[in-house]
Amino acid sequence: MTSQDCNAAWVFASDGVYINIHAQPGARREKICGMHGDALKIAVRQAPQDGKANDAIIDFLADALCLSRQDVDMSSGHASRRKRLFVKGDAKQIILRIEGLLRHV
């Protein structure tokens, strides 16, 4: 995995960063699985019913990045495996945290 592969997964904004997510609902455990094309692959236990998996992805990412749940918002992909989240905060710091998490995958 190169940094260029990772860079395709996010887009910097003035007050945060948009992150492409590939969701894997119904997994045995919650984790960052690595990259899936141009998206960060996140596995969660919850099934994709009534937005439970979406909530789990937001909770998991906020916790992994040491942020408040209110700092993470799903901007698209509510009914799809392919999602786009907006993470509010210092974009460079957020990306550094994600890259740090990816090193342990």
Q: Do 80 and 58 meet the contact criterion of CB atoms below 8 Å apart? A: no
DSSP state of 77: -
Q: In this structure, what token pair is assigned to residue 104?
A: 């342990």
pLDDT tens, 76-94?
999 999 999 999 999 999 9
> Closest Cα partner for 10 from 19, 2, 21, 23?
19
Look up the pTM and report it.
0.91
Q: In this structure, what token pair is assigned to residue 74?
A: 């799903």
What span, in angstroms and rounded, lies between the C-alpha atoms of 84 and 87?
Answer: 10
Confidence of residue 75 (pLDDT cuts 50, 70, 90): very high
Q: Do 86 and 65 meet the contact criterion of CB atoms below 8 Å apart? A: no
**What are the backbone dihedrals phi and psi of residue 70, each rounded to the nearest 5 degrees, phi first?**
-70, -15
**Mean pLDDT along residues 20-26:** 97
Where do the domains of the chain lie, and which CATH numbers do they carry?
3-102 (3.30.1200.10)
